[in-house]
Amino acid sequence: MKTILYTIAIAAAATLSFTSCNVKCKKGSGTLKTESRKVTDFSRIQVEGGFKVILKQDSSLNVDLSIDDNLLEFVETEVSGGTLKISNARNICGSDDAQIVIGVKNLEELKGSGAVKFSSAGRLNVKDIAIELAGAGSTDLDLSAANVRTEGSGSTDIKLKGQAASNTISLKGSGKVEALDFVVGKYNIETTGAGEYKVNALKSLVVKTTGSSTIEYRGNPTDVKNQETGSSTLKKID
């Protein structure tokens, strides 16, 4: 009985802690203000928090923040070692329309943790790029790339279109990949969990799954390998 009461007490404390974290967030005023910040050269982006981030290709190296006027001071932007880092100085609750627009000249790495949402305004021409998401992050990107590496953990939602020579996907959890309009020469997919994947492979498709993932592919790759553990399925679609 004591054990049960102790467990209930711990659960209640955790619930109160979670609720208090939401209550203590700094709420936005509802009045959006745009602030343009000039940064030094970077080729990698790292974002923490629930930001909506729009990437556009230009050489301006500008970071345009459109967010509640009373929250701008809490959004930190800095470049360190070639990485543009964006985070919150404190827990904030901004308006749904808040967003950050980043002008990128060259992009080699895109990292997001939390509920960050990445999208692109037009096509991004890159060479090799690594995309890494943790938590409930998402992407909706139009890319022209050489080699792409896509990693995710949690309930990530990845949408890609465009083209690439290769894409290596490694996801853990309930990830989702929607990439039928992303034409790739060589695909290598490794999953753990209950993911859903839709891809377009030209030459080869190598799949290694653990769990109950569903993988659908378009195209006519001549080299298809499927190594599965669990109840995963791989099927060709039109």
For the chain, the domain total comes to 1
In a domain, residue 75? The reply is: no
> 54 pLDDT exceeds 60?
yes
- 204, 222 Cβ separation under 8 angstroms: yes
Other beta carbons within 10 angstroms of residue 25's beta carbon come to: 13
> 91 pLDDT exceeds 60?
yes
Strands 62-68 and 99-104: antiparallel
Average pLDDT over residues 20-33: 77
pLDDT tens for 138-170 read 999 999 999 999 999 999 999 999 999 999 999
In a domain, residue 137? The reply is: yes
- 120, 142 Cβ separation under 8 angstroms: yes
- List phi, psi (to 5°) of 72: -55, -40
Let me know the angle formed at the C-alpha of 115 by 41 and 197, rounded to the nearest 5 degrees: 95
> 17 pLDDT exceeds 70?
no
pLDDT band, residue 7 (cuts 50/70/90): very low
In a domain, residue 108? The reply is: no
In a domain, residue 225? The reply is: yes
Token output for 236: 């060709």
Q: What is the pLDDT of residue 146?
A: 99
Which helix (H) or strand (E) segment holds residue 68: the answer is strand 62-68
Lowest mean pLDDT among 16-30, 55-69, 107-121, 127-141: 16-30
> 14 pLDDT exceeds 60?
no
pLDDT band, residue 23 (cuts 50/70/90): low
Cα–Cα distance list, 121 to 34, 169, 189 (Å): 18, 23, 27
Measured CA to CA, the distance from residue 147 to residue 184 in angstroms comes to: 9
In a domain, residue 147? The reply is: yes
- 195, 189 Cβ separation under 8 angstroms: no
In a domain, residue 101? The reply is: no
> 18 pLDDT exceeds 80?
no
In a domain, residue 73? The reply is: no
Global pTM? 0.88
Round the average pLDDT of the chain to a whole number and report it.
Answer: 90
Indicate which CATH number applies to the domain containing 238: 2.160.20.120
| Domain around 229 | 123-238
In a domain, residue 197? The reply is: yes
